[in-house]
Chain A
Amino acid sequence: MAKKKKKFEEIKPDMTPMIDVTFLLLIFFIVTLKFKVLEGRLDAALPKDRGSSTAKEEEIEKIDIQLYVADPGDLDFEIDDKNKVTNLKVFSGRKIRIEVGTQKWYYEPFDPNRDTQNPLPELATFLKTFDKDETPVSIDARKGIVYGDVVVILDVIVRAKFEQVSFAGTFEQE
Chain B
Amino acid sequence: MAKRTANTEIEIDMTPMIDMTFLLIIFFIIVNDMSQKDLEELKLPIAMEAGHDEPPENRPVLNVRWFPAGGVPDSVIAHYKELGIGIPSDQEWSDIVWKRNILYYPFMDTKGLTDPIRKGRPDYYWKLAETMRLVWVPEMATKMDDKLKRILPDDPILIRADRNTPFKYIQKIMEVCTREGIQIWKVQLAASEDPKIVDAREKAKRK
List A residues at the B interface (Cβ < 8 Å): 15, 18-19, 22-23, 25-26, 29-30, 32-48, 50, 75, 77, 79, 82-85, 88, 90-91, 116-117, 141, 143-152, 154-155, 158-159, 167-170, 172-174
Whole-angstrom CA separation of A147 from B170 in the bound complex: 8
Query: By the criterion CB–CB under 8 Å, are A19 and B18 in contact?
Result: yes
Q: Per DSSP, are chain B's interface residues mostly helix, strand or loop, or mixed?
A: mixed
CB of A107 to closest CB in B, whole Å: 14
Closest to B123 in A: A174
Known: A32-B32, A45-B186, A82-B73. A38 touches B45 (CB 8 A): no
Query: By the criterion CB–CB under 8 Å, are A22 and B48 in contact?
Result: no
Query: By the criterion CB–CB under 8 Å, are A22 and B72 in contact?
Result: no
Q: Per DSSP, are chain A's interface residues mostly helix, strand or loop, or mixed?
A: mixed
Q: Within 8 Å of chain A (Cβ to Cβ): is B131?
A: no
Q: List 24 A-B contacts (CB under 8 A).
A: A19-B14, A19-B17, A22-B22, A23-B21, A25-B25, A39-B39, A39-B44, A42-B188, A43-B187, A45-B186, A83-B72, A88-B43, A116-B48, A141-B168, A146-B167, A147-B45, A147-B64, A147-B166, A151-B189, A154-B189, A167-B170, A170-B168, A170-B172, A174-B124
Further 20 A-B residue pairs, CB within 8 A, beyond A39-B160, A47-B175, A147-B167: A19-B14, A22-B21, A26-B24, A29-B28, A38-B193, A40-B52, A40-B53, A40-B191, A41-B51, A41-B158, A42-B191, A43-B189, A83-B73, A144-B166, A146-B164, A147-B170, A150-B189, A151-B45, A168-B171, A170-B168
Collect the chain B residues with CB atoms within 8 Å of residue A155's CB: 47-50, 191
Query: By the criterion CB–CB under 8 Å, are A85 and B71 in contact?
Result: yes
Q: Within 8 Å of chain A (Cβ to Cβ): is B58?
A: no
Q: Within 8 Å of chain A (Cβ to Cβ): is B192?
A: yes
Interface segment out of the listed B95-103, B132-140, B177-185: B177-185
CB of A72 to closest CB in B, whole Å: 11
Of the candidates B43, B71, B161, B178, the one whose C-beta lies within 8 Å of that of A46 is B178
List B residues at the A interface (Cβ < 8 Å): 14, 17-18, 21-22, 24-25, 28-29, 31-33, 36, 39, 43-53, 64, 67-68, 70-75, 77, 92, 117, 121-122, 124, 156, 158, 160-168, 170-172, 174-175, 177-178, 184-194, 196
Max chain A CB contacts within 10 Å: which of B24, B45, B70?
A: B45
Of the candidates B121, B163, B187, the one whose C-beta lies within 8 Å of that of A151 is B163
